[in-house]
Chain A
């Protein structure tokens, strides 16, 4: 495998969710913080797909936003192709922004309803000065942009003639293709996809996933794929990170993770998937619910729901350690108890 395109080290994001100053003074409320992402690290090899999976509120979307620079990290850094891309407090250079793009979950909210598709897709092109060399006149430049928009639409299975339409004239799946075309406009190497198919019906989801795989093969794209759907993750990814309450619980090669899940949380998630082929395996419901992120449990965040938790789990937070070729944050696995 080639060198890592994206490397994330000790990434953390804390949100201040305190009551307003006056309420804090009058009602003696303390300041409150949510540690949405805490000490997350991974690398993604060029041309491969890392999937982050977890339940609502586990911080997977925050990681996506930190990577593309929509949030500034509280701690830690994002290294893109050897260049530090997320030094806290400094704006990210356009040369790096051009090379990473994002596809959002909701195709109804992520496209401007008042813009024609051609403008939506051309915006990143104009922003990054596509076709604007000194010799080209305005007309020539516009022609180049239009040609490129047509090309992009064709590459996601839409017609170049669709460029003059507005988003409301498209179905959910077609809108998500427009989002993909927009993300591809600047010829990025890295795409962050935040639940790109969760708002879509299964047959449309299959179309979009197939397009994404085709584009990856054709352009050698690298994906960070965020999803809560393990079956989809298994289909698209090379490597999988399972997140729980802002931290990575297990990070492993796809085949290893699905064949032999190590972390108790990963096992529970896999057991909770509905069995579509009715092999007779009873689905084991996960006990309990995700704790309140404002007041996470001490020690291992998963210990209140974990069947293998002991005293150490209640006190000491497990680190993500390499064990048998995968990385797991679990005392029980580390001690060989499970």
Chain B
């Protein structure tokens, strides 16, 4: 296997507060290979967006990385000075956010924003940058790109805006794109268009993607691998097909069972009782143990690390044969 494009090792993100520190991301590690699409899925507050923000160096203070490291092409990037990180962001790592309206400047034309981005990252003259901007808009499927370039964001529909945001993210020819809920604000029909666009463009441009979403459907049809997050930890990570068809962690099982299916009739949905714990009240042992239907003694005492479970890695004591035998 080629050396990974992005390596996240033992990352920990904290928010210092008056009543002690809140640990929002607690010791997570994963890799993304060049050209790979990694999905990060979880419910609100699981820490998936924060993971993305930490990678692109856009954690909102007072949030900070308190341990671990992030390496991009073998080089450590989590401790880069602001100015260097700013150059890396956009050039080597692109970003797409949930709400396309707030990621565009309402007072500047689309063309100006695109050309500015292109010229910031690539050595190009104004005319050449404009030609590239038109080409980018065409690639993202915007009709009459030449005229659209001189329009403002409010003249675009939601789906069209998200296409512009994708064009912006691709402008610097990045090797990695961090996409945080890129389709959540869109209708299903537009969502399908944007997902297939994102997948096609990343393949053409050879960019790897970290796709953060709460939508398992989007993960299923887009990603190569998926990481499932719960209460600031990765509880399961593996190839998409394995995680969806034979989930190893009871949380993933519950998550899959709670999604209404299109091809089978169930009178009731599988439900996980309770809610994800707040950051200041994470239970000892496995954070999922109070809601877990299969919890046993060790779960309440010691926190499980990721271990081999079939074809995925799961952080669950059920997959530690020695412990199960003892119990």
Which residues on B sit within 8 Å (CB–CB) of A207?
A: 271-273
**For chain A residues 202-221, which have a beta carbon within 8 Å of chain B?**
202-207, 209-210, 213
| Given the contacts A230-B262, A268-B189, A276-B216, A285 and B196 also touching, CB distance less than 8 Å | yes
Interface hit among A15-23, A116-124, A231-239, A328-336? A231-239
Q: Mark A168-211, 1 if CB is under 8 A from B, else 0.
A: 00011110000000000000000000000000011111110110
Distance between B62 CB and nearest chain A CB, rounded to angstroms: 22
- Inter-chain contact A286/B44, CB cutoff 8 Å: no
- Inter-chain contact B260/A231, CB cutoff 8 Å: yes
Which residues on A sit within 8 Å (CB–CB) of B259?
A: 202, 206, 231, 276
Distance between A334 CB and nearest chain B CB, rounded to angstroms: 24
Q: Mark A266-287, 1 if CB is under 8 A from B, else 0.
A: 0011001111111000011110
Q: Which residue of A lies closest to B215 (CB)?
A: A274
- Inter-chain contact B159/A202, CB cutoff 8 Å: no
Q: Mark B148-172, 1 if CB is under 8 A from A, else 0.
A: 0000000001011000000000000
Number of B residues contacting the other chain (C-beta, 8 Å)? 43
Q: Which residue of A lies closest to B183 (CB)?
A: A274
- Inter-chain contact A201/B44, CB cutoff 8 Å: yes
Q: Which of A171, A172, A210 has a CB less than 8 Å from the CB of B269? A: A210
Distance between B108 CB and nearest chain A CB, rounded to angstroms: 23
- Inter-chain contact A205/B261, CB cutoff 8 Å: no
| Given the contacts A55-B188, A283-B192, A289 and B157 also touching, CB distance less than 8 Å | yes
Distance between B158 CB and nearest chain A CB, rounded to angstroms: 8
Q: Mark B252-278, 1 if CB is under 8 A from A, else 0.
A: 001101111111001111111101000
- Inter-chain contact B192/A285, CB cutoff 8 Å: yes
Whether a CB of chain B sits under 8 angstroms from the CB of A56 is: yes
Which residues on B sit within 8 Å (CB–CB) of A55?
A: 187-189
Which residues on B sit within 8 Å (CB–CB) of A230?
A: 188, 262
- Inter-chain contact A203/B189, CB cutoff 8 Å: no
Which residues on A sit within 8 Å (CB–CB) of B260?
A: 206, 209, 229, 231-232, 234-235
**How many angstroms from the CA of A203 to the CA of B228 in the assembled complex?**
14
Q: Which residue of A lies closest to B241 (CB)?
A: A278
| Given the contacts A231-B259, A277-B220, A283-B221, A202 and B268 also touching, CB distance less than 8 Å | no
- Inter-chain contact A276/B220, CB cutoff 8 Å: yes
- Inter-chain contact B190/A289, CB cutoff 8 Å: yes
Distance between A56 CB and nearest chain B CB, rounded to angstroms: 5
Whether a CB of chain A sits under 8 angstroms from the CB of B17 is: no
Q: Which residue of A lies closest to B43 (CB)?
A: A201
Which residues on B sit within 8 Å (CB–CB) of A290?
A: 187
Which residues on B sit within 8 Å (CB–CB) of A284?
A: 192
| Given the contacts A285-B192, A290-B187, A277 and B275 also touching, CB distance less than 8 Å | no
Whether a CB of chain A sits under 8 angstroms from the CB of B240 is: yes
- Inter-chain contact B221/A206, CB cutoff 8 Å: no
Whether a CB of chain B sits under 8 angstroms from the CB of A166 is: no
- Inter-chain contact A213/B255, CB cutoff 8 Å: no
Q: Which residue of A lies closest to B251 (CB)?
A: A203
Q: Mark A157-175, 1 if CB is under 8 A from B, else 0.
A: 0000000000000011110
Whether a CB of chain B sits under 8 angstroms from the CB of A228 is: yes
- Inter-chain contact B258/A202, CB cutoff 8 Å: yes
- Inter-chain contact B263/A277, CB cutoff 8 Å: yes
- Most chain A CB atoms below 10 A, which of B195, B217, B255: B217
Whether a CB of chain A sits under 8 angstroms from the CB of B103 is: no
Q: Which residue of B lies closest to A172 (CB)?
A: B44
Which residues on B sit within 8 Å (CB–CB) of A278?
A: 220-221, 240-241, 244-245
Which residues on B sit within 8 Å (CB–CB) of A209?
A: 260, 269
The 7 closest A-B pairs by CB, nearest first: A274-B217, A206-B258, A286-B189, A235-B260, A201-B43, A206-B269, A285-B192
With A201-B43, A206-B257 given, name 20 new contacts (CB 8 A): A201-B44, A202-B43, A203-B43, A203-B254, A213-B267, A213-B268, A230-B188, A230-B262, A231-B262, A272-B188, A272-B192, A273-B262, A274-B191, A275-B217, A276-B261, A278-B221, A283-B192, A284-B192, A285-B192, A290-B187
A interface vs B, CB < 8 Å? 55-56, 171-174, 201-207, 209-210, 213, 228-232, 234-235, 258, 268-269, 272-278, 283-286, 289-290
Some 12 contacts from A to B, beta carbons below 8 A apart, are A56-B187, A203-B255, A230-B188, A232-B260, A269-B188, A273-B262, A274-B217, A275-B220, A276-B259, A278-B241, A285-B193, A289-B160
